[in-house]
Amino acid sequence: MTLDEIRSGYLFLVDKPLEWTSFDVVRKIRGITRAKIGHGGTLDPLADGLMLVATGAFTKKLTGLQELSKEYTGIIYLGATRPSFDKETAIDQTWDISEIGIEKIMDAAKSFVGIIEQVPPVYSAIKVDGKRSYDLARAGKAIELKKRQQEIFAFEITKIEGPLLSFRVHCSKGTYIRSLANDFGKFLGVGAYLDQLTRTSIGNYKLENAWEMELLIEKLNMLRNAESIS
């Protein structure tokens, strides 16, 4: 890998750190390489995991990459809700979940496999009348987003520890896992929100093969320094 190769066309598998935006990742790589750059699917700041970052001629492949299915692991908190469907906002309501047994939770997960309809979180980047939905939500504006049809190929609860439900999900592009968590709670007659999320694969691209951001930055800076010396 050289900077010329990166500028010509390269595909990076990147492990996005928690609290970084997807744009933070793109901006950092662009700043070091000075390459044309884009990515194959946004991850929320409160999620970590796999991002596909393309440079140069490879940016033409981004449309196809964005169509690929995604896999995630994470944790759903059962028995409370937050307006953002994740930990960005404060808990606004709680429920007693003592009567909800393991079998009921497992059966609920099975009911979400297949074609589903979900409403995106109002705290999302969807545009409403030219403005980002999350900006309107943070300003206290009332927002009504339309339902979207998605496909869940697999959804399983892998561990239950009190209100914390560990899960794995394989879904079509554009699926909001925050909305899935919220809808899961509704299905059980209580509330739920997304406590933690990691994207583990995009199509056949796997998180285990991705660069940790710190190591990638170190590598790219080495290439830039070598180029400046030569």
Gap between the Cα atoms of 74 and 44, Å rounded: 13
Catalytic residues: 44
What's the sign of the alpha-carbon dihedral 187, 193, 195, 199?
Answer: positive
- Looking at residue 146, the DSSP 8-state letter turns out to be P
- Looking at residue 20, the DSSP 8-state letter turns out to be -
CA–CA distance from 156 to each of 57, 62, 93, 106, 113 (Å)? 38, 29, 25, 7, 9
Gap between the Cα atoms of 230 and 227, Å rounded: 5
Residue tagged 């390459």 (tokens): 35
Which residues, other chains included, contact 128 with Cβ-Cβ below 8 Å and sequence gap of 6+? 136, 143, 145
Closest CA to 143 of 84, 66, 74: 84
